[in-house]
Structure 1
């Protein structure tokens, strides 16, 4: 059995526990939001400092957000969206269709 297969099996065993699953999902959401903001910021050629200034934040807050280190509020997401020239869209999707 490869190391990767062993890790995948262990991960699935751990995620069978509801507390672990909830923590994993919260982390996944933070990571995906941070990745999306960073991608758009880079697409616009903005630095973290520039984004922070436009959004009314400080650069370390943008860095933490992009790294998935914080769970943002909806008002913060709206500020970032406006600063990135975007509109925030929040929605729900069935779990069987989620990635």
Structure 2
């Protein structure tokens, strides 16, 4: 016997997230993950627009290339410090803008 799937029976990821966002603890974790993604994107965009490789940025910061890879690739759940982000903005000479609900950060080179 063939089973048919109805549209209402399909549970999409967006529905799951919307339902879970009502859970305060889940919302905190989701907001933090979204912030982490936004920061990672800004780091990568600034580095690429500055024409720097991960190794070159790492050398200028005095850290390892794998650390830059983790910052850009989300392999690490830790949020980078404001000081590190300010250094990245200064080295790349690019403004880092992170705009998430309830959080706005702009760092420019000085």
What is the CA deviation profile of residues 42-67 of structure 1, one whole-angstrom value per residue up to 9, with x for unaligned ones?
12221100000111211111111112
What is the CA deviation profile of residues 8-61 of structure 1, one whole-angstrom value per residue up to 9, with x for unaligned ones?
211111111011100011111111111011012112221100000111211111
The alpha carbon displacement at 1:6 in A equals 2.5
Q: Residue 34 of structure 2 aligns with which residue? A: 28
Label 1:73 to 1:3 Cα distance change in 2 as closer, same or farther (>3 A): farther
More strand by share: 2
Q: Any unmatched runs of 5+ in structure 2?
A: 1-6, 103-110
Pairwise CA RMSD: 2.6
**1:72 match: secondary structure:** coil
Q: Any unmatched runs of 5+ in structure 1?
A: none
1:78 is the counterpart of 2:68: no
Q: Residue 43 of structure 1 aligns with which residue? A: 49
Compute the TM-score of the two structures, normalised by the length of structure 1. 0.78
Q: Residue 4 of structure 2 aligns with which residue? A: none
More helix by share: 1
For structure 1, which segment, 15-24 or 63-72, has the greater mean C-alpha deviation from structure 2 after superposition? Answer: 63-72
